[in-house]
Structure formats: structure tokens, C-alpha cells
Amino acid sequence: MSIQSSPLVRKLGAYVALSDPELAILETFHAKRLSFSDKKDMVYEGQSDPSAYILAKGWVCSYKLLRSGGRQIVDFQIPGDFIGLRSVLFRTSDHSIEPIRKVEASEVKIKDLLGAFETSPRLATAVLWSASTDEAIVVERLVSLGRRDAAERVAHLLLELGARLKLVGLATGNSYECPLSQYLLADALGLSAIHINRVLRQLREEGLLTFRDGTVTFDNLDKLVEFAGFDKAYLDYEGPMLK
């Protein structure tokens, strides 16, 4: 895959029109490609001097464990996302990151990242913009947990994932491949797996969406967007503002 068509460039290109020198810098970020098995943390909470990664293939989840053993998934990361960017700026990682299935990611050391930002302030702007969108996603998730009912939470998250995947070229039309189990959705949305199952059945029976065999299909996108109160303005994917 050429760097121009990589998920990372597709994502950053939503904020800044990248030049050839900036693309060349991004290509160096992919020099150290690593594979990670599922159910084994790439980064763990409390880890000192963790690396940052750019996800190339597969999905991961960021999470925190409670003293009771319960888990809260903070977000899901998809190809093109930076993983652990905040952790490399802290003395220790404040959360854990686990592959949902086997993934491929490029390791990026903080010195290389800061060096690239010094060379290309526009690239730093693109990464900051992308990170700000990621923060907005977490804020929107907080709204879901606090104020949306169970069906609205599920619908909103699946719509959001569809928009994110479409940006990086991994969703076509009104459907996308999704490796999330009902248990993962439950840990992200503060529900039980049984409740998730009931909600998915409800949304399917109402003709809004179908989640079957690892594929999410929006059966009535307009009605689903209205039902979930989904306004993708917080994703800020309307095209680069910095030419």
C-alpha cells in the first residue's frame, strides 16, 4: 500500500492538505512494523516509557480496569489511529491498550515524533487536530453513558464507527466489517452483554440496522441517525481547512 492511500494519510488529510515532504516524513513512521496478538496488551496501565503506535491493520481497545475487576473500555481504535500518543507524553501510561484481534502497528518513538513536528509544524497541526477529534469522541461517549438510553448508545456508537471507517477507506455504502463482540460493546457502553443482545434485536426488528456475522449494515440510515441523535459535526471530517 502506498503512503498516499494509507489509513493514516487519509485521516490526517481530513484536516491538512499534506505535501510531498510531509508524506515522506509519515512514511518514515512506518519503518518499524510490528505484529501483536489479541488478548495481550500492547501498552499496560502504569507502564513506564511506553511507545506510541500507528495502527495499520486490525482494531484495538483502550481500557481501564477497576479494583473490582470490572473493565471500562474508553474507546476503540481503527487503522490510521495513533495509539498511546498521550501515554508517551506522561511518565507512565494511564490506561491499557489491547488488540481485539491480531493487529499490525508501526512503533513511533517520542523523539522521532517530536523531531518530525519540529521539521514540519503543519504535520504537527494535523496530528494535534486528529488528537482533538479523538478527544471529542471520548466526550461524546461520556454523553452517551450519562444521558442516552441503551438503544441510542448502541446506535450512536455504530454510526460513529461507520463514519470513522469511511474516512480511512474501510467502509463502503451503508455497511462495514466490525470485529466487536457483544461483550466488548457492553464494556464500552456500560451495559450487560444480554442487554446489548436485546438492543441489537430491537434495532433490527425496527428496520434500523443489522449486526450479523461481523458486519454492521445500516438498513435505514436517515431514520437511524434521527433515532440516535447523531450529528457527525464533532468528528470534523468535512475536508482540510489548512491547505
Taking only the tens place, the pLDDT of each residue in 39-77 is: 889 988 888 877 889 999 999 999 999 888 889 999 999
User: Is residue 240 situated within a structural domain?
Assistant: no
Domain hosting residue 103, numbered range = 3-130
Give per-residue pLDDT as tens, 33-42.
999 998 889 9
Residue 10 sits in the same domain as residue 126: yes
Residue 108 sits in the same domain as residue 136: no
Residue-level pLDDT at 242: 57
Query: Distance between CA 140 and CA 181 in Å, rounded?
Result: 21
What is the four-CA torsion angle of 77, 78, 80, 86, rounded to 10 degrees?
0
Nearest residue to 121 via CA among 235, 21, 14:
21
Residue 116 sits in the same domain as residue 152: no
Of residues 20 and 90, which shows the higher confidence score? 20
Residue-level pLDDT at 239: 62
Q: Give backbone dihedrals phi and psi of 72, rounded to 5 degrees, phi first.
A: -115, 115
Pairing of strands 71-77, 60-65: antiparallel
Which residues does residue 43 pair with via DSSP β-bridges, in sequence order? 97
- The H helix count followed by the E strand count for the chain is 9, 10
User: Is residue 243 situated within a structural domain?
Assistant: no
Pairing of strands 96-99, 175-177: unpaired
CA distances from 157 to 8, 53, 56, 152 (A): 21, 24, 22, 8
Starting at the edge strand found earlier in the chain, the sheet holding 82-83 runs 33-36, 103-108, 52-57, 82-83
Residue 30 sits in the same domain as residue 105: yes
Mean pLDDT of the chain: 91
Residue 126 sits in the same domain as residue 136: no
Pairing of strands 215-218, 175-177: antiparallel
Percent of the chain scoring above 90 in pLDDT: 62
Residue 114 sits in the same domain as residue 154: no
Last residue of a domain, one of 106, 130, 154: 130
Last residue of a domain, one of 85, 100, 130: 130
Query: Distance between CA 157 and CA 187 in Å, rounded?
Result: 13
Would you say 21 and 120 are in contact if contact means Cβ atoms under 8 Å apart? yes
Query: Distance between CA 134 and CA 84 in Å, rounded?
Result: 12
Q: Give the chain's domain count.
A: 2
Residue 13 sits in the same domain as residue 63: yes
